[in-house]
Every structure is written in C-alpha cells, then in structure tokens.
Homo-oligomer: A and B are copies of this chain.
C-alpha cells in the first residue's frame, strides 16, 4: 500500500480506538493489529504516539470538525428574523453532525477529561464563537422586543444544553434509545419550541393564543390576536 494511503488508514483506525478508549487507554499495538500491520509501521508514519494523537486532532479539526463558520450558519433565517428557523437549523446541524460522526463527541470528551489541548482548542475556536454569535442575535432580538430581557449567555447555555445533552444521550448513555426515540428533525423542532414558548399551556378560555406547534416559519407572530 502507498505511503499516504497507509498513513490515512492507520489514522482512521486510531481515531476510532482513541475515541473509544481514550489516549492512554489505547495501545500502539492495538492500533497496529486493528489496521492489520506491524507496530513498526505505525511508528514509521508517526514518530511517537503523541504525534499520532496530534495528527488526529488536526484531522478532526480540519475535516469533520468545527471549521464550519458559526457566522455563516442560518444566515438567511437570521436576516429574516425567523427565530424558529434560526434555532431549528442550528440544532439540526449539531444533532446531525453528532450522529454522522459520533467519534467526534467521544474524542472531545476524552480530551476534555484528560485536559488535552484539543479541548482547549475546541473551546477557544468554536464554543466561544458560538456563544458570541448566538448571543449577539439574541441581544438584538431583545432590543427589538421579541425576546424577554435576560443574559443572552444563559439562553445559549440552555439551548445548547438541550441539544448537546440529547446527542450525548444518543451517543453515550442511551444508544438503544430506551428513554427517547425521536428523529433529529423532531428533536430540533421540540427544543426550539420549548426555548421560544416554554411548556406552559395557554389558559383554556383563550385557546387561539400560542397555537404554533413547531411547524414552518411561524416564528414569533403567534402572540398577535
């Protein structure tokens, strides 16, 4: 097999094993065996185990990772002031990403627990910017009178919490979906609905208020009577 191909193959194997067992929990021997080569081959392509780990992080950061610009996300919905679409699109993108690449979330968690640089990198280059980006939108909408006054960071924390925790359940705690079996689309809709409207029912004698049920771009017009 050609050099680069083999290198990629070893990398792919390592991603899977590191995401499953963590850095210290994975041996170079295991990686070699799973890749069907000798240990010497691993060290031919990556001088040290640490270098292999770093290569994974780079790879993840550049490909599947957070290279997608938060500022570019949901740009259309944002300009339309379609709150429902904004949150739903962001949630769906995240849920889909975590579903398509479950290794990513595990790798990230391992990194955070092991206090590896990836965790810090991810936090600085992605999480901070998401809070900034989403927070700005929320602040604007508050000024426009669409959202109640409240530290935008709390709102971001709450929403991301719903989404991330759902992915964490799907990927880590409850992969067989014992607690909740639901499509990403539905999940994104429900979380958005809860964030925007809460779960308290409108009073029974004015049933026409807040009738939206997470469909389309009804946005926040539903309070008009």
Does A199 have its Cβ within 8 Å of any Cβ on chain B?
yes
Does A73 have its Cβ within 8 Å of any Cβ on chain B?
no
Q: Determine how many copies of this chain the complex contains.
A: 2
Can you sample 29 A-B contacts with CB below 8 Å?
A21-B24, A22-B25, A22-B113, A24-B24, A83-B200, A113-B113, A119-B173, A123-B173, A127-B174, A142-B201, A148-B199, A151-B182, A154-B182, A154-B187, A154-B194, A157-B165, A157-B169, A157-B180, A160-B165, A161-B164, A161-B166, A162-B162, A194-B198, A196-B198, A196-B199, A196-B200, A198-B198, A200-B223, A206-B223
* Interface pair A148/B180, CB less than 8 Å apart: no
Does A92 have its Cβ within 8 Å of any Cβ on chain B?
no
CB neighbours (8 Å) of A112 from chain B are 172-173
Does A150 have its Cβ within 8 Å of any Cβ on chain B?
yes
Q: Which residues of A are in contact with B by a Cβ distance under 8 Å?
A: 20-22, 24-25, 83, 106, 109-110, 112-114, 119, 123, 127-128, 131, 138, 142, 145-148, 150-151, 153-155, 157-158, 160-166, 169, 172-174, 178-180, 182, 187, 190-191, 193-204, 206, 213, 220, 223-224
A-B residue pairs, 5 tightest by C-beta: A161-B165, A198-B198, A197-B198, A161-B162, A24-B25
Most chain B Cβ neighbours within 10 Å, of A155, A198, A223: A198
Chain B nearest CB, measured from A137 CB (Å) = 12
